[in-house]
């Protein structure tokens, strides 16, 4: 995967329903091609959307972050964020939400 300027991390992305997902997508689709890459959760109907998106989307398992599994989920997500950052070498990492994406970015990369 080529280096991108910005890595956007969000717990869910279109076609997952939700107002923030639409807002994130609208923001990113207005940027220059290659400016953004997205790291987000798996979605069973994402293949067509991802193929047509004007930015890179990488989907991964996003463990539930509730109850006793929370520390494990944060650690796994942090490792995935750090791996994506090492692979893509972005100048900026954007967290779609402060928790868990923002926390994972902070833990993984010391941002």
How many angstroms separate the CA atoms of 100 and 73, rounded?
9
How many angstroms separate the CA atoms of 38 and 88, rounded?
11
> 104: pLDDT confidence band, cut at 50, 70 and 90?
confident
Task: Output 46-49 pairs: Cβ under 8 A, ≥24 positions apart.
Answer: 46/13, 46/15, 49/14, 49/15
User: Structure pTM?
Assistant: 0.82
Is-contact 92 9, C-beta < 8 A? no
Distances from the Cα of 76 to the Cαs of 34, 50, 101, 104, in angstroms? Answer: 26, 23, 11, 9
The residue ranges of DSSP E strands in 32-110, in sequence order, are 36-41, 56-60, 92-95
| The pLDDT value given to residue 96 | 81
> 22: pLDDT confidence band, cut at 50, 70 and 90?
very high
> 43: pLDDT confidence band, cut at 50, 70 and 90?
very high
């Amino acid at each position: 995967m080529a280096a991108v300027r910005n890595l956007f991390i969000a717990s869910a992305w279109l076609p997952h329903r939700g107002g923030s997902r639409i807002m994130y997508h609208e923001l990113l689709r207005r940027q220059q091609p290659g400016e953004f890459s997205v790291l987000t959760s798996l979605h069973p109907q994402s293949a067509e959307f991802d193929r047509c998106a004007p930015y890179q989307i990488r989907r991964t398992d996003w463990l539930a972050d509730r109850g006793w599994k929370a520390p494990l989920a944060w650690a796994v997500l942090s490792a995935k964020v750090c791996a994506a950052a090492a692979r893509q070498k972005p100048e900026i990492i954007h967290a779609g939400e402060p928790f868990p994406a923002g926390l994972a970015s902070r833990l993984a990369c010391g941002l």
